[in-house]
C-alpha cells in the first residue's frame, strides 16, 4: 500500500469510491495488486477522477469531438446526395478525417498578424478551455460525479455563460473588422439566448424542486421532456443559438463576416477555437440529457455495473448532438435582428410558459 500520509489519503480511500465494473473486475483486481500501476488504476477509476478523465471528461470529449465533426460532415453529405469524407480510411467511411485535419492544423504555421494583441491573441484560445472543461466536473453519470453539490446546476450554467466573454475577448485581440462585427454579434446573441436558456433551467429546477443534478437524475422516473416539453424545446433552441449552429450561426457566418471572431486565426490556434463550439455543444447536450432525458437512467446491465449509466448517458447525449448536427443541412442562416426578435418575443413567451408549468408541477408535487 502506498501511503500519501500527509494528505491522509490511502489507496483504500480511492478503492472505496471506485467505479465498479463486474465484467473486468478480475483484471482490475489483478492490476491493483501491482505496486505503481495499481495506484494509477485506482486513481483513474476513482469516481471523481473517472468523471474528469474518462466520462464525461477528457477522453470522451476528444473522441466525441473527432466523431461529431466527421459525423456532421457525413450526415450533411448524405442529405446532400454525396459521400462526404471517405478516402482517408475507405473501409470505415473515412471516420478519421477530423484527425487528419487536426494533424494538418497542428503542423501549420501560426500567424500572428501585426495589428493583433499578441499575448491575448495567443492566450485566450487556451484560456477558454477553463469554462469549457469545468462544467464536466459537475455533470453526474449515475453515481459517477466529479463534485457533488446542491448548486451544481446553477454553477454549470454560470460557467457556460462565461464562454461568450472569452469569444468577445478573442475578437478584440484579433483587431480586425470582421472580428469586430463578429464579436458584436456574439455579444448580441449572448443576450438573445441567455434569458430563455436560464428560464428553461429554472423551470426544470422548479419541476424537480432541487438544483442538485444527481437528485434531478434520480427523480426522473418520467423523463423531463415529457414533464415539461416546452422547457425542453426552449432549451434545445437555446442550445442551437449558444453553439452558433445553423440557423443561428450568426457570429461566425462565414459568408458574411468570414468566421467573425476567428477570422485571423491559423494553424493549431484555429483548430482550438474551431472546436470551442463543438465542446460547448457537447456540454449542453450532456446538460440536456441530464435535465430532460433522464441522464444515466435506463435498464441496468449487471455485468457493466456503473458503466451502464455511462452508456445510457452517452447514447442520450449523442442523440441530442445528432439532432443538432441534422439542423445544419436543413436551415439557412437568419439575420441577427431576426434572431433577437425570435428570442425576445416568441422564445421569451414560451419560456415563461415553461416556468409556469414548472411552478404548477412544483405545487402539485408531481415529482
CB of 344 to another protein, least distance (A): 16
Residue 297 in contact with residue 312, Cβ under 8 Å?
yes
Q: Phi-psi bin for 241: left (phi > 0), alpha (psi -120 to 50), beta?
A: alpha
- Window of 30-38, 198-206, 219-227, 258-266 that interacts with another protein by CB under 8 A: 258-266
Cβ atoms of residues 222 and 295 within 8 Å: no
State yes or no: residue 349 binds another protein (CB under 8 A): no
Candidates 103, 126, 303, 360: give the one binding another protein (CB under 8 A): 103
Residue by residue, DSSP assigns 16-39 as HTB---GGGHHHHHHHHHSHHHHH
Residue 335 binds to another protein (criterion: CB under 8 A):
yes
- Span from 82-90, 120-128, 147-155, 299-307 in contact with another protein (CB under 8 A): 82-90
Taking CB under 8 A as the criterion, the residue among 104, 118, 191, 356 binding another protein is 104
Judged by phi (left if over 0) then psi (alpha if -120 to 50, else beta), residue 265 lies in beta
String of contacts with another protein for each residue 269-308, x by CB under 8 A: -x--------------------------------------
Is residue 336 part of the contact set for another protein (CB under 8 A)?
A: yes
Structure-block grid coordinates of residue 346 = 416568441
Nearer Cβ to another protein, position 53 or 258? 258
Total interface residues for another protein by CB under 8 A = 61
For the chain, the first-to-last Cα distance in angstroms comes to 45
Count helices and strands (H / E) in the chain. 19, 2
Give the separation between CA 141 and CA 290, rounded to whole angstroms. Answer: 8
Least distance (Å) between residue 35 CB and another protein? 33
Q: Shortest approach of another protein to residue 252 CB, angstroms? A: 9
Interacting residue with another protein among 10, 17, 108, 210 (CB under 8 A): 108
- Distance CA(232)–CA(321), nearest Å, equals 14
What's the number of CA atoms in the CB half-sphere (13 Å) around residue 78? Answer: 9
- Whichever of 218 and 249 has its CB closer to another protein, that residue is 249
Smallest gap from residue 338 Cβ to another protein (A): 6
Nearer to another protein, 259 or 292 (CB): 259
The only residue of 20, 338, 345, 349 in contact with another protein, by rule CB under 8 A: 338
Nearest distance from C-beta of residue 248 to another protein, angstroms: 10
Q: How far is CA 258 from CA 165, 181, 187, in A?
A: 20, 10, 17
Q: Do residues 301 and 13 make contact, with C-beta atoms less than 8 angstroms apart?
A: no
Chain residues that interact with another protein, rule: CB under 8 A: 73, 75-88, 94, 97, 99-111, 177-178, 181, 246-247, 249-250, 253-256, 258-259, 263-267, 270, 326, 328-338
Amino acid at each position: 500500500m502506498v501511503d500519501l500520509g500527509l494528505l491522509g489519503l490511502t489507496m483504500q480511500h480511492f478503492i472505496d469510491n471506485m467505479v465498479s465494473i463486474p465484467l473486468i473486475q478480475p483484471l482490475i483486481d489483478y492490476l491493483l495488486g501491482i505496486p505503481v500501476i495499481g495506484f494509477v488504476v485506482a486513481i483513474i477509476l476513482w469516481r471523481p477522477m473517472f468523471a474528469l478523465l474518462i466520462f464525461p471528461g477528457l477522453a470522451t470529449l476528444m473522441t466525441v469531438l473527432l466523431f461529431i465533426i466527421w459525423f456532421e460532415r457525413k450526415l450533411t453529405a448524405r442529405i446532400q446526395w454525396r459521400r462526404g469524407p471517405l478516402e482517408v480510411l475507405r473501409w470505415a467511411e473515412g471516420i478519421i478525417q477530423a484527425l487528419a485535419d487536426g494533424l494538418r492544423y497542428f503542423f501549420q504555421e501560426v500567424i500572428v498578424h501585426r495589428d493583433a494583441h499578441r499575448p491575448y491573441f495567443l492566450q485566450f484560445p487556451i484560456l477558454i478551455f477553463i469554462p469549457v472543461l469545468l462544467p464536466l466536473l459537475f455533470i453526474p453519470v449515475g453515481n459517477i460525479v466529479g463534485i457533488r453539490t446542491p448548486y451544481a446546476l446553477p454553477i454549470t450554467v454560470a460557467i457556460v455563460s462565461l464562454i461568450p466573454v472569452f469569444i468577445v475577448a478573442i475578437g478584440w485581440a484579433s483587431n480586425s473588422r470582421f472580428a469586430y462585427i463578429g464579436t458584436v454579434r456574439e455579444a448580441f446573441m449572448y443576450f438573445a439566448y441567455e434569458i430563455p436558456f436560464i428560464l428553461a433551467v429554472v423551470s426544470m429546477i422548479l419541476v424537480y424542486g432541487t438544483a442538485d443534478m444527481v437528485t434531478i437524475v434520480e427523480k426522473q422516473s418520467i423523463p423531463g421532456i415529457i414533464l415539461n416539453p416546452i422547457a425542453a424545446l426552449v432549451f434545445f433552441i437555446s442550445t442551437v443559438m449558444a453553439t452558433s449552429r445553423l440557423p443561428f450561426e450568426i457570429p461566425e457566418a462565414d459568408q458574411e463576416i468570414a468566421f467573425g471572431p476567428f477570422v485571423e486565426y491559423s494553424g493549431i490556434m484555429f483548430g482550438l477555437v474551431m472546436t470551442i463550439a463543438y465542446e460547448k455543444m457537447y456540454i449542453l447536450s450532456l446538460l440536456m440529457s441530464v435535465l430532460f432525458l433522464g441522464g444515466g437512467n435506463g435498464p441496468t446491465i449487471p455485468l457493466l455495473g456503473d458503466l451502464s449509466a455511462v452508456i445510457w448517458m452517452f447514447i442520450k447525449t449523442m442523440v441530442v448532438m445528432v439532432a443538432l448536427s441534422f439542423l445544419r443541412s436543413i436551415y439557412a442562416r437568419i439575420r441577427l435582428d431576426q434572431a433577437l426578435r425570435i428570442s425576445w418575443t416568441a422564445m421569451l413567451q414560451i419560456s415563461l410558459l415553461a416556468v409556469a408549468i414548472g411552478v404548477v408541477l412544483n405545487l402539485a408535487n408531481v415529482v
